[in-house]
A and B are shown apart, each in its own frame.
Chain A
Amino acid sequence: MQLFSNGQMWRSHELKPSYDVAIVGAGVHGLATAYYLGRLFGIRKIALLDKGYLGYGASGRNTAILRSNYRTPEGVRFYNAALKLYEGLSAELEWNLMFSQCGHLTLGHTDTAVAGLRVRAETNQLLGVDSRIIGPDEIQKLVPHIDCSSAPRYPIMAALYHPPGGIIRHDAVVWGLARACDRMGIEIHTRTEVTGFRVSGRKVESVITNRGEVAADTVVNATAGWASTICKMAGVSMPIVSHPLQACVTEPLKPFLNAVIVSASLHVYVNQTGRGELVIGSEIDPYQSYSMKGTLPTLEQMASSALELFPQLHHIRVLRQWAGICDMTPDFAPIIGRCEELDNFQVDVGWGTYGFKAAPAAGRYLAEAIATGKTPDIIAPFAPDRFRRRQLVGEKAAAAVSH
C-alpha cells in the first residue's frame, strides 16, 4: 500500500558522456518536459541539470496559483490545457498535489479595470472556460471577509470570477514529477551547474557543467529567471529581462479564505494555503535584479494593500518574505520552441510571473516538438521568431498583476 511505502523518490547518478536530451533547469518546466518526453514519446535517455537543490528556483518560490482566465485566445487555450493536465496529474503521478479548486477572483476597482476584466470574461466564455463578471454582493457571499463597502479608497466595483482556478502544493508538483521521471530512468542531477556550451556551427555539441561535460542531441533551456544568461552561453540573445517578484506569508490561521483574491489596482494578491498561512504577493519589482532577498518597502506595500481588502487582518503577523526571479518578455508571453540561431537548442523561457501555472502544457507540447520535430499549434504563437516577425501576443495588457 502506497501509504506505508518508504520507497526512494529519486536517486543520484554519475554524469554519463552523452544523452538524447539534456535539459538545463530541473524546475517544473524541465521536469514536465522530461516527464512527457519519457511517458508519451519513449525518450528516456535524458539528463536534467540543475545548479541548486530540487525546486530551488521559481518552482518553489511562486505562490502556487493556477488559472486559465487569460485575455487572448492563444493564452486561454494554452493555460486551459495546462489546467486540465494539472487536474489529472495527481492521479497520473500517484502523488497528491493537493490542487484545491477554490475559485479565483480578480477584482476591478475602476471602470477601465472592469472593462479589462470583461474582455477576459468574454473571451474565456467563448472558449469554454468558466469565467464571469460578478458584482459586490456576490463577491461578499463568496468571500465574507473582504471589504466590499464604499469605505476603501478604491471600492471594489466587480470581479472576474473563475471557479476552476485555485491553488496547488507547488513543491509537491516538483517532487511528483521528479519521482515519475526517476522511475522512467530519467536522471536528475542537482548541484550541477551549467557553465557553458560547446557550439559548432548551428549545433550545440555538448553542455559544460561543474561536474563535467555531456554531449546531447537536443539541449533545452528551462531556467526561468536565469534564461537569458544560459542563452547567452550558447551565443543566443533573447528579449528577456529579469525582475524579482516578492511574496510573504503570515502565521497560520484557521481557514477562512476559500478563494484566490487578486487586485491589479492594489498590486496585490492573497490566498490561504492548506496549512492556514495567508500568502500575500506583490507585482514584480520595478527594477531588474537577480536578488532573491525581500525588501522592506515591498513588504510594507503588500501589507498595506492586503489591509485595503481585509482591514480586520491588521494584527496578523507576517512570518517570512522572499523573492523569486521572473524572466519578463516584451509582450508578457513565454518563448517556447527551437531558437532561430541553433538547430538543436530548444527554449522554454520568458515565463515571467505565470510559468508555474503553465508547466504541464509547456512540457507536454515542447516534448512533442522535440520528439516529432514539428511545432504543435497550441505553442506556435509563442515561437522565438515572433519578435522579429513583430507578431506579439497581447497578454501584457492584462498582466500588471497576473497571478
Chain B
Amino acid sequence: MRANERFSFFFKGKLIEARPGDSIGAAMFRAGVRVFTRSFKHHRPRGLMCVAGNCPNCLMNVDGVPSVRVCTAPARPNVRVTPQNVFPSLDFDVLAASQKFDWLMPVGWYYKTFTSRGAWKRVEPWIRKAAGLGEPPPAMAEFAGEAPPYEHRYIHSDVAIIGGGPAGLSAALDASQQGLRAVLIDDQTQLGGHLRFTPSEAERRDRLVEKVLADEKIEVLSRSHCFGLYEDRLLGVVQLPCEGREIESVAHVRAERVVIATGVFEAPLLFENNDLVGVMLSSGVERLIGLYGIVPGSRTVIVGEGPRAERIAALLRDAGSEVAATVRPDQVVSASGSGRVNGLRTADARIACDLIVVCGHRVPNAGLLHQAGAGLEWTDEKGAFLPTRLPPNVEAVGDVTGDDLSPAVAAPPAYPVSKRCYTCYCEDVTTADLSAAIGEGFNEIETLKRYTTVSMGPCQGRMCQISAIGVCANETGRSMGETGVTTSRPPNPSVSLGALAGGAHTPVRRSPLHHEHEALGVVWMNMGEWKRPRYYASDPSLGERECIEREYRAVRERAGVVDVGPLGKIEVTGRDAGRLLDKVYTHRFGNLPIGRVRYAVICDETGTILDDGTISRLADEHYFLTTTTGNLEFVVQWLEWWLIDTGWDVHIANVTGGRSSINVAGPKAREVLSALTDIDLGTDAFKYMACRQGEVAGVPAILLRIGFTGEMGWEVHVPADYGAHVWKSVLEAGRPYDIRPFGVETQRVLRLEKKHVIIGVDTDALSNPYEADMPWVTKLDKPDFIGKASLETLQSTPAGERLIGFTMLDAGRIPEDGASIVRDGEPVGRVTSARYSFVNKTGVGLGWVKAELAQEGQEIMVRVDGEPVRARVQHAAFYDPAGDRLRM
C-alpha cells in the first residue's frame, strides 16, 4: 500500500473509505456515521465525544475484539467493525424504551427488589442477560485459532518520560543534553501531543520532534501507554501494534528518574441531555479538525467562556462551521433533540444547531502520580486536583502540573438534578442517581462510587470523576477537597490479558533420558515441572494395569530400572557442612561416617515435615543430598536461608540438572551392575545404606545402596551427558535377567507395599514426625535444630491423628486416593495412597485416622465408591517387614 493510497474497511456490511492516518472512528464519521454505540443501561444513542480514547462512546467490536475505542484505533484495510450492546441495531434499539420506565429503576433498585430467595432465582438469569457490554469470546469448541503472539520487553534507562507533548519532548532533550539516556513513552502514533492539532504550533512541533527523533540517546516508544507506575518506579507500558510493529507487547521500564508529562484530558459539563449525539468536547472537535480534516457540524453552539471558547470559535469558523452562539456554562439549561442535537436551550432562548461544543473541565492526567503515592489536592483557582508530595525521583512537567489551568465552571458546580443529566457515560449514572444515593447515606465518594457504579466503567473515571466529586461536594455541603478523589489503580488505560501474559509459557523439564523413554513407549505424567514416565506401554495388547504388573514383577523377581533424574540433588561442602545439616535436618549428620547414607527429614519451626530425602557423606567435608522432586528449589533456599549470618564455611550447589540418576533394583540388581563396574557390590563390601564413588559403564558415578522399592538396589548418579549411555548399558547388561524399565506408578506400588511414605502425598501441611509414625527421625538430644522446641512439645502431646497402614478385607475393593475413613457415617480419617498389592492380593494403603483408631489390628471402614468397606490397620510393612531383601 502506498503512503497516500486510500483504503476501506467494513461496517455493518458496507465499505467505509479511509485515508492514511485515519482512525477507524474518524473514517466512519467522515462517511456519515454519527451513532457509534448505545449506552450501557438506557441504550441511548451515543456518538463521538472526546476523540482521544477516553470516553466510552465509541466502543465497538473490531475483528472480534470487543470494546475497541475506534476514535483512536488506527484504521486498517478490510477490518470488520460491528456495534456492541445493541438490540437489534445501532439506529433502532428496542431497549431504549427502558428510559421510559426508569422511574421503576432508581439508583440501587436491584438491591431493593427480589429479596426473597425464590423470586431472585427466577429473575436473576434475566437480569444477568442484560449485563455486560462486549461480545463474549467463543466457546472452546468454536475457538479454532491460536492466540496471536505477545511479548514482554525489559528496558533500562536513566530517565523515563511519559507523554510526547511539548513538555515531554523538552524533558527528553534536556536529559539528553545532560548526557543521560532517555526513553520517551507516548500513546499517540506520532509525537507532538496537542501541538499536532494546534495549527499555530505546527512549526514548534516539527522542530521539537525532529530533534528528538535525531537524538541517539532518546528511545521513542510510540503508541505505547504507560498503564502503571508501580513500587520503586517500575513502569508498565503496553505497546500496541502500529506501523512497523505487529506484536502487542508489555515493556517493563526501569529508570533512575521518571518524568510525568501526561498533560490534561477534558471531561464533560453537567446539563440536561449532555449525552446527545452531537454534543462534543472542545478537544474532540480540535482533533477531528486538526488531525483528520473533519468539520463535525455546520451550525455550532459553544458552551464555555474566555480565551478557550474564543479559540474554538475561531477554529470552527475557519473550518467553515457557522458559530451560532457562545454560551456561558451557567446559562445552559439543556441540549435538545431526539437522539441527535438540534438545539441548545438557555434560560431565555433556544438556539438551533447541529453541534454543541463543550469547553469542559481540563483534568490533570495525574493518575500515574497518584498511583505512585503523590497527593491530589484541590485548588479552587485552577478548578482541578493538582499533584503534590511527589515521591522521590518522580517529577511532573507541563500541563499535568496544572500551572496553566483555569476552572471551566465554578466549584462546586451548579447542575440540574435530573435523570437526563449524565455524570457517568459508561454506566448511565445521572445527577438524579447521585443525589438520591447521597440522600440514602452513601455520602463518601468511595461508597457513592460502589453504590452507583459511577467511575467503575471502561473510562476508568476519566469522564465522570470530577463531576461526581462536584455533585457529592454540593449535596453534602463539603468542599471539593474534603470530598476527595477515589484511589487511582493500574492498569490505566486497560491492558489485554494476552499482553500481560506475554510470551509466557510454563516450562517443561525433561530428564536427560527423555528420548530413551520415548523410544520405549512411555506414558508420561506431570510431576512438578518435570515429565516423568508413569509406565511403559511397550506392548499395545496390554492395558495399564497389566503393564504395571509386568514392571512390578520384574523388580520383585528379577531386576528393574527407573529414571530418578527429577529427584533433587544438592552437594554441600566445606568445613561446617555437617554443622549446617545438623541445624536444618532433624537427624544427626555431623557424625555420619564417610561412605554411609542416612534417611533425612526437614521440619519447619512448628515441627511440620517439609521434605525428606537421603544424605550421603562422600568425604569428610562433602555431603551429597537428595530431595523430593517438587521441593528441590525450596530446600536449596531453606539451606541458604539458615546459613545466612552464621559465618560458617559451607558451599551449597544445586547439581540436579547436571546429573542423570537411575535406580537399579531387584534380586538380580547386583549381577546387572557388576557387569558394568569394578566396585565390589558384595553383601559385606557394599552394605545397605552405604555409598561409594567409582565408574559405571566407564563413567564416573556416585552409587547409593538404598531401597525405596523394598528390593536390593543402587541409585546411580552420573554426569547428565552420559545418562543415556549408562541407561542403555544397564538395559543391555540386564538383558540376561529380563530387566525392565519401570515408571512412577509401578514405583508407587512397590514403595506402598513397604509402607514408605511420600512427603506431600501421604503427609500434608500439618503432619509432624510423631503423628506420621516416624519418631526415629528426630534426635532431640542433639543441640538446637530447626523445629526442636516444637518437636519436644509434640513428643509429649497425645497425637490427634496418626498415619497408619491398612489392608482391605474385601480383596476386590480398592479405595481411591483421598477416600474417607468413616465411623458411624462420620469422617474419622482419609486415605492418602491405596493400590492393589500383587503380593498381598488385596488393596493396601496408607491413611490418617483419629489416634484412637490407630491400634494394630483395629478394623476400620474405608469408603469405596461412597460405601464403607472393611479394612484392618497394620503397622508393619506389607512386604518383607524385616527388610531382609534390602540387605541381601
Contact = CB atoms under 8 A, between A and B. Distances in A.
Real binding pair: yes
Interface of A: 2-11, 53-56, 60, 73, 87-88, 90-91, 93-96, 98-100, 109-112, 114-119, 121-123, 125-127, 140, 144-149, 153-154, 169, 171-172, 175-176, 190, 250-256, 274-276, 291, 293-296, 299-300, 302-304, 306-308, 310-322, 330-332, 390-392, 394, 396-397
B140 A304 contact: no
A239 B506 CA distance: 35
A252 B150 contact: no
Interface stretch (B109-117, B209-217, B593-601, B658-666): B109-117
18 contacts: A3-B109, A3-B112, A6-B106, A90-B120, A94-B115, A96-B120, A98-B110, A98-B120, A122-B819, A145-B138, A154-B506, A254-B136, A307-B498, A315-B66, A317-B67, A318-B497, A318-B500, A320-B492
A251 B819 CA distance: 42
A287 to B, nearest CB: 12
A307 B447 contact: no
* Max chain B Cβ within 10 angstroms of own Cβ: one of A127, A169, A330: A330
B136 A255 contact: yes
B495 A318 contact: yes
Contact of B797 (A56, A251, A390): A390
Nearest to A273: B131
Contacts of B492: 320
A3 B104 contact: yes
Contacts of B453: 275
B826 A73 contact: yes
Interface in B95-121: 104, 106, 109-117, 120
B66 A316 contact: yes
A127 to B, nearest CB: 7
Contacts of A175: 111, 451
Contacts of B460: 319-320
A112 B761 contact: yes
Contact of B106 (A4, A93, A256, A300): A4
A149 B760 CA distance: 27
Contacts of B689: none
Interface of B: 64-67, 85, 104, 106, 109-117, 120, 124, 127-129, 131-141, 143, 146-148, 150, 152, 228, 230-231, 234, 236, 250, 252, 371, 436, 439-442, 444, 446-447, 450-451, 453, 457-458, 460, 489-492, 494-498, 500-502, 504-506, 508, 525-527, 606, 760-761, 764-766, 793-794, 797, 800, 816-820, 822, 825-827, 830, 832, 863, 866
A95 B501 contact: no
A146 B446 CA distance: 35
Contacts of A300: 152, 250, 500-502, 504
Contact of B506 (A153, A172, A251): A153
Nearest to A307: B501
Contacts of B109: 3
A148 B231 CA distance: 37
B501 A6 contact: no
A117 B129 CA distance: 32
B526 A154 contact: yes
B798 to A, nearest CB: 10
Nearest to B834: A115
A241 to B, nearest CB: 13
Contact of B66 (A5, A112, A251, A318): A251
Nearest to B764: A397
Nearest to B501: A304
Given A55-B450, A253-B136, A314-B150, A109 B526 contact: yes
A145 B137 contact: yes
Contacts of A314: 147-148, 150, 496-498, 501
Given A112-B760, A144-B140, A147-B140, A118 B818 contact: yes
Given A55-B450, A96-B112, A112-B761, A254 B137 contact: no
A203 B236 CA distance: 51
Nearest to A112: B761
B136 to A, nearest CB: 4
Contacts of A119: 818, 820, 830
* Max chain A Cβ within 10 angstroms of own Cβ: one of B65, B128, B444, B502: B128
A123 B409 CA distance: 64
Given A8-B439, A171-B451, A316-B137, A115 B66 contact: no
Nearest to B144: A312
A149 B827 contact: no
A268 B505 CA distance: 15
Contacts of A311: 143, 146-147
Contacts of A252: 131-134, 457-458
Contacts of B458: 251-252, 319
A304 B440 contact: no
A275 B85 CA distance: 13
A114 B832 CA distance: 11
Contact of B112 (A55, A73, A95): A95
Contact of B228 (A8, A11, A296): A296
B485 to A, nearest CB: 13
Contact of B133 (A73, A114, A276): A276
B820 A299 contact: no
B132 A254 contact: yes
B441 A315 contact: no
A8 B440 contact: yes
A100 B120 CA distance: 9
A2 B460 CA distance: 32
Contacts of A88: 117
Contacts of A56: 446
Given A251-B134, A320-B490, A3 B500 contact: no
A54 B489 contact: no
Contacts of A169: 111
B828 to A, nearest CB: 9
A103 to B, nearest CB: 13
B490 A321 contact: yes
A293 B128 contact: no
Contacts of B85: 254
Given A7-B440, A296-B230, A251 B133 contact: yes
Given A316-B497, A321-B490, 11 more contacts: A115-B761, A122-B818, A122-B819, A145-B138, A149-B140, A175-B451, A300-B250, A314-B150, A315-B496, A315-B498, A331-B766
Nearest to B825: A126
B41 to A, nearest CB: 11
A91 B116 CA distance: 5
A317 B495 contact: yes
Contacts of A109: 526
A109 B490 CA distance: 31
A168 B513 CA distance: 51
Contact of A140 (B135, B140, B527): B140
8 nearest A-B residue pairs (beta carbon):
A276-B132, A118-B818, A314-B498, A303-B500, A397-B764, A256-B136, A304-B501, A115-B817
B111 A172 contact: yes
A126 B451 contact: no
A313 B820 CA distance: 38
Contact of A276 (B113, B131, B442, B525): B131
Given A53-B447, A153-B508, A96 B827 contact: no
Contacts of A140: 140
Nearest to B132: A276
Contact of A396 (B766, B800, B827): B766
Contacts of A98: 110-111, 120, 124
B115 A254 contact: no
B764 to A, nearest CB: 4
A315 B446 CA distance: 30
Contacts of B228: 294, 296
Nearest to A76: B827
A361 B469 CA distance: 37
A256 B231 contact: no
Contacts of A321: 489-491
Contacts of B830: 119, 122-123
Nearest to A7: B440
